Amino acid sequence: MLRRIGVRFRPYRWQIACSALMVTVTAVLNTLAPLMLQRIIDHALPRHDVRLLVVLCGLMMGAGVLASVIMIGQSALIYRIAQGVSARLRIDVYDRVRAQPLHFYSERGQAQIQTRLISDIDGVDQFLSGTVQQILAALTTLAAVGTAMVILSWQLALACMLMAGILSLLNNRFARRRRALARVRQGLLTKVLRYVAEDLSWSGVLLGRTMRRTGKQRERFAKTAEEIRDVTFRQRMAGISAYALIGTSFACVPPLIFLAGGTIGSGISVGAVVVLVMLQTRLARPIQGLLRLSGSLQTSVAMFERVLEYLDLDTDDHLLLPNPSPVPTGPAHIRLRAVSYCYPEASGPALTLVDADFTPGSVTVVTGRTGSGKSTLALVLAGLIAPDVGSVQLNDDGGPARLRAEVTLVAQHTALQHGTVRDNVSFACDDLTQDDLDRVLAATQLETVVARLPEAADTSIGAEGFRLSGGERQRLGVARALLTRCRVMIADEATSSLDHATADHIHAVLRRHCRDKTLVIIAHRLPRMEPDDRVIVLDHGRVVEAGTHATLRDAEGPYSGLLKAQYGEMPEMPGVSSSS
């Protein structure tokens, strides 16, 4: 893991070398002051040498000012490096996460992903910008102070270093415990984020209140919060115990130095004894800091390990492309051959040996009972999931990346941003004009809805579009899709929240919009049909019937049964006129 951390700093190697040099110079300057103090006590003051006293005091002040200036520059350099590494790390994790198969997001959950991108990387950032700087400063101070102590009295310096080594071994026992507790605490924080996302969102609050389970929601949140309290208490008490032991040990050292200087060390001057005590205090401070920081180090290592789990994820490189190539004009032909797909850990396949042709410029309605595999087929056609077996080709070219570049999917559950109507519609294109916005809002019968909003199209619709009804959200999703550049459009239950009249209107709009495209309508509730519309009926992931509406309507098969279940004993459904 240390090697992988080091790789992150490779682009900043010269800045790091400069920072290390500045830290070393600062440590040397801070150590010169006690050495000059010895000269003041042993020579300048007893001899009343004013000139020497002025020179030494001036040098002490100059060294202090210069050390402070260098420290500011060194801190700025470290912060710049740390922010660069953290930003790159966050971008890399984001890229890894967005290049995962769809089932990844349901398995991991939004809260876990947010924890990695925000909380864990924030912890790594604090370590890089604060802890590393303090560790580097402490190590250089130890080296400088240790050298000065050896010059004054190597025996006492050796005793202090030996004690520091023993204390370090004791601290390691506490550090391992803190690291384990840090991992447990991060897991609990992830759980809290999940509860916040589930319970305090618009849909979560609505669910809790309508099901009268707000007490249950609070109970599980409070239980996890109390677990975090207990784990954090144990983690910090482990650190305080180690710190108290170390502090007590170092508190005993100055009296021992005075005792040694007055007995076995009679050759040591008063100034040397005083400076040794001062240096021991300066030696104790970085040692205590290092041992105290080991707790932060262990926590940061635990966070970095969690981040590395995401950096090690396998990815689909095609999903990492920043922008797709321009979409060709004209309808496309999608051909499925023996396509099968099974969701991870599912009891059975969602699709089994599906053969289907979606010819250029055609309108195809895919229908079937609930759970028959309709939405899974839509995901396959859109290139959002790759079949386990079989092939999907678009104009004789295979691969999910090609499908994603030329197919637009309008999903049943409309994903809306926490922004304005204009923000959500303009997500489909970078050059949205007011005329384009007005056109798609009118086409989806949203112009009057938007006009009633306080700031019209510039009104925020809130998280998940909660200010709009379910049908209005679906129509806004359709309006957005009308602005996408594609050759194939798939509407997966895109009108499930609409009344019959409005749904018929939206389907007519889609037909007009897709006259030069290939249109696939996934529908449990059948739309108004044209005689030449193609129909595919799925049942338990298999194609049980396929043909035109006119042919299958009178065939007394599954499609005919679905028609009768929806429309009664109507002999035929009214067609869609070209002007509707």
Write the pLDDT tens digit of every residue in 405-415.
889 999 888 88
Return the pLDDT at 572.
45
**Predicted confidence (pLDDT) at residue 537 exceeds the cutoff of 90:** yes
The DSSP letter of residue 546 is E
Task: Evaluate whether the domain defined by 2-315 bears CATH number 1.20.1560.10.
Answer: yes
Check the CA dihedral 279-284-287-288 and report its sign. Answer: negative
More confident residue, 169 or 485: 485
Could you tell me the residue ranges of all domains in the chain?
A: 2-315, 334-415+485-567
275/525: higher pLDDT: 525
What's the pLDDT score for residue 491?
93
Query: Which ranges of 252-363 does DSSP label H, i.e. alpha helix?
Result: 253-262, 270-311
Arithmetic mean of pLDDT, 106-135: 74
- On the question of a common fold for 2-315 and 334-415+485-567, the answer reads no
| First-last CA distance in the chain | 64
User: Distance from CA of residue 155 to its chain's centroid?
Assistant: 54
pLDDT in tens, 411-445: 888 888 888 999 888 888 888 899 999 999 999 99
Q: What residues contact residue 118 under an 8 Å CB cut-off, 6+ apart?
A: none
Q: Is the pLDDT of residue 570 over 50?
A: no
Q: Is the per-residue pLDDT at 565 higher than 80?
A: yes
* Burial bucket for residue 528 (CB in 10 Å: 0-12, 13-18, 19+): middle
Q: Which of 3.30.930.10, 2.60.120.10, 3.40.50.300, 3.40.50.2300 would CATH assign to domain 334-415+485-567?
A: 3.40.50.300
Q: What is the largest CA-CA distance in the chain?
A: 122
Torsions phi, psi of 364, nearest 5? -120, 130
- Reported as a single tens digit per residue, the pLDDT across 219-256 is 888 899 999 999 888 888 877 776 676 666 666 666 66
Residue 351, pLDDT > 90, answer yes
Q: 156-160, 197-201, 265-269, 438-442: which range is least confident on average?
A: 265-269
Query: What's the pLDDT tens digit per position in 444-467?
Result: 999 999 999 899 989 988 877 888
Provide the angle, in degrees to the nearest 10, between the axes of the packed helices 13-39 and 132-152: 40
Residue 571's pLDDT is 39
Pairing of strands 397-398, 542-548: unpaired
Q: What's the token pair of residue 163?
A: 């004690």
Name the 3-class secondary structure at 18: helix
Closest CA to 302 of 182, 185, 172, 192: 182
